[in-house]
Amino acid sequence: MSDHHIALIPGDGIGVDVTEAAMKVMYVVAELENFTLRTETFPWSCAYYHETGAMMPQDGIETLRAFDAIFLGAVGWPETVPDAVSLHGLLLPIRKAFDQYANIRPHRLLPGVEGPLKSEAFDILCIRENTEGEYSGAGGRVHQGRENEVAVQTSVFTRSGVERILRFGFEQARARRGHLTSVTKSNAQQYSMVFWDDVTRALAADYPDVTVSHVHIDAMAAKMVMNPEELDVIVASNLFGDILTDLGAAIQGGLGFAASANICPDRSAPSMFEPVHGSAPDIAGKGIANPIAAIWSGAMMLRHLGESAAADRVERAIAAATGEGIGIRPGSHGTDEITNAVIAAMKG
C-alpha cells in the first residue's frame, strides 16, 4: 500500500472551506483505491501574519521539504494584509524554493457547465513559467514619496529557465494532440521575448512530431475567445501565463472550476497544488464556496503522486456531479452538497 505525506495550508478565507472539502474527497478515494494519505495542517495565512509578523515561520520551507506534496487553499485578505505582502511571503517563496517552475492549468468545460463562448469543444493545457520572468523580483524604488521617485521592475529570463519550461511544454504536447503554441510579445519586447522565440525555434528541432505556433499575447487573448478549440498546449512566461489562465478560467465557466499544479518536474522537492481562485473573504465560512477547483487540484496531486487510477476516479466523479447539474452555477449548491455529490459518484 502506497503512503503519501501531504502538507495542508488552507490559508485564508474560502481556502479553509475548499481545502476541507477537497480532502474529504481525497480520503475517500484513497480508501477506495487502497493507498493512504497522511496530512499535517499548517496555519500559515494572513491571520498568522497578524500574530507573528510573517506569513510563515523562518523554517517554513525546510518544514515543507519533508513532505511528498503541498496542498494550498488560498492566500490573501487584502483588507488586512496587502496582497504584495501575502503573495511574496508565502506562495512565491514556496514556488521558488522548491523550483516549481512548471505551473499547469487545464481549461475545459465540465459536463453541464455553460461557458460564455459559442465554442464548447476546447481542451487547453496552459503551461506557465513559474519562477522567473516578470515575477523575478528584480528591481526597486528610489526617492520614494518625492516628485522624482523612480520604480524599476526588471524581467529576468535565463536560457536554462526558458529551455526547461519549453521542453516541459513540448513533452506535454507530445503526450496530448501534438500542438504547442508559444506566447510572447516579441514585436514590442525585442530582447526578452525575441530570446524566448529563438529558444522555442531551436528546441522545436528536437520535437519534429509536435507542430509549433508562435502567437503574440494580445492575439492569443482573442484566439482563446474566438477559436479556443484550435488550441492544445500553450506555453507562456510568468506574467503572460498568469493573465491567460484567468481568461482560461473564464471561458471554462469561472474560477470555481479552475485547478492548478505547481510542479517540480525532477521531484527533488515537493510540488504544490491549489485552486486558481482567491480567498473570497466575503463568503468565507458560509458554506457556499464551490470546491470543484480544489477537488480537481487534488486529482492533479494524486496523478503527480502516481495514483493515476484515483485521479481518474475523482475527475470522472466531478464530471458526473456537474453532469447532474450539481455546482454548475454560483450559489446553486452549497460546498457540502457539491462535495457529497462527488463522493457519491466515486462510490457509485
Q: Which residues are catalytic?
A: 135, 185, 218, 242, 246
> In what helix (H) or strand (E) does residue 316 lie, and over which residues does it extend?
helix 308-323
Is residue 13 within 8 Å of 278, Cβ to Cβ?
yes
- Cα–Cα nearest to 195, from 167, 160, 243, 233: 160
Q: How far is CA 4 from the centre of its chain?
A: 21
Q: How many CB atoms lie within 10 A of CB 52?
A: 12
- DSSP codes of every residue in 139-203: EEEESTTSTT-EEEEEEE--HHHHHHHHHHHHHHHHHTTSEEEEEE-TTT-TTHHHHHHHHHHHH
- Cα–Cα nearest to 157, from 240, 266, 262: 240
Is residue 70 within 8 Å of 9, Cβ to Cβ?
yes
CA atoms within 13 A of residue 88's CA, in its CB half-sphere: 9
Q: Which residue has the cell 487545464?
A: 106
CA distance 38 to 26: 11
Pairing of strands 123-129, 102-108: antiparallel
